[in-house]
Amino acid sequence: MRGALSGLGRFAARQPLGAVGAVLVLILIATAMLAPRLAPHGPKEAAFAPYLPPSAEFPLGTDQIGRDVLSRVIWGARLSLYVGLASVVFGVTLGWLWGVVSAYVGGVADTASQRVVDALMALPPIILALSLMAALGQSVNNVILALTILLTPTASRTLRSLALSIRESPYVEAARAVGCPTWRVIALHVLPNTFATYIVLVTVNVSYAIVVEASLSFLGLGAPPDEPSWGAMLTAGTQAMEPAPWMFMFPGLAISLTVFGLNLLGDAVRDLTDPHLRGGLG
């Protein structure tokens, strides 16, 4: 325990901005996990007067149909984190496996699979996401699916380039020379050596996924409108910017702080895992 604490202390000393990011991310995770306990009201409970300004009873005011904005912002953390983590884990993992296997197998299979990646990367991400959502229909799980499709090619391309150099490493050649089957070389030698980059990609892309989810919801193609999505709350806020500015300010602030925190943490993790910058924590 003491060791862990001192490790965190050293992390904070070496990466002060990363520590700020970590704190923000921890707050986000805690808020998401404890949403049912923290939120004073249900996120869909429209039991109050509309457009009430912030007060002791409603610290962030109420929205256009009389829901507590604080409760929706708190529940929104859960939705954002769920969508962000799930899509990134699925998308980056899929891209990881795709890139590594493609690089290791090489030849025509690699060329063909990378043309598919090229095709997917050629499409502007938000246009691709909008098209997918229009085709799939509005639901939280479809947002995750659309984001997975969005994230997979980038992750695949990044991790493939790393796997190409690992494939030529002496230890991989040695494994092949002693007759290791292909799947075993990939599973035991190539994948573990790309894991650090995989983790960085996961960390960096969570904020991207959260922003895309908010953007899709803002455009009316993300989570269903009654779900407490920060993006959808922003849209509702734009309908009443003059009379009820709290409706867009607080979800906007939540998105900003979350993305800020995740980016700071992601940068710190990247610095710590980059061999050129890495000094270790020890």
Residues that bind another protein (CB under 8 A): 44-47, 50-51, 64-66, 137-139, 220, 224-226, 236, 238-244
**DSSP class of residue 94?**
H
Smallest separation, CB 259 to another protein (Å):
24
Q: Between residues 162 and 221, which has the closer beta carbon with respect to another protein?
A: 221
- Report the residue number, 73 or 269, with the smaller CB distance to another protein: 73
Please report how close the Cβ of residue 130 comes to another protein at its closest, in angstroms. Answer: 13
Residues β-bridged to residue 68: 62
- Select 139 or 193, whichever has its Cβ closest to another protein: 139
Q: How far apart are CB 204 and another protein at their closest, in Å?
A: 32
What is the nearest approach in angstroms of another protein to the Cβ of residue 45?
A: 7
Length of the chain measured in residues: 282
Query: DSSP character for 62?
Result: B
Closer CB to another protein, 9 or 243, in the complex:
243
- Rounded Cα–Cα distance for residues 54 and 70 (Å): 10
Closest contact distance (angstroms) between CB of 125 and another protein is: 22
DSSP secondary structure string, 186-239?
IIIIIHHHHHHHHHHHHHHHHHHHHHHHHHHHHTT-SS-TTS--HHHHHHHHHT
Beta bridge partners of 62: 68
**CA–CA separation, 192 and 175 (whole Å):** 14
Phi-psi region of 39 (alpha: psi -120 to 50; beta: other; left: phi over 0): beta
In degrees, rounded to 5, the angle at the alpha carbon of residue 222 between the alpha carbons of residues 221 and 227 is 125
**Is the distance from CB of 40 to CB of 68 less than 8 angstroms?**
yes
Give least dist CB 249 to another protein, A: 16
We find the least distance from the C-beta atom of residue 74 to another protein, in angstroms, to be 18
42-58 core/surface letters (b: 16 or more CB in 10 A; e: else): ebeeeebebebeeeeeb
Closer to another protein at the Cβ: 162 or 244?
244
- Residue 50 or 110: the one with the smaller Cβ distance to another protein is 50
CB-count burial class (<10 Å; 0-12, 13-18, 19+) for 141 = exposed
Nearest to another protein of 98, 218 (CB atom): 218
Asked whether 44 and 79 are in contact (CB, 8 A), the reply is no
CB of 145 to another protein, least distance (A): 17
Q: Is the Cβ of residue 237 or residue 266 nearer to another protein in the bound state?
A: 237
How many whole angstroms separate alpha carbon 83 and alpha carbon 42?
Answer: 20
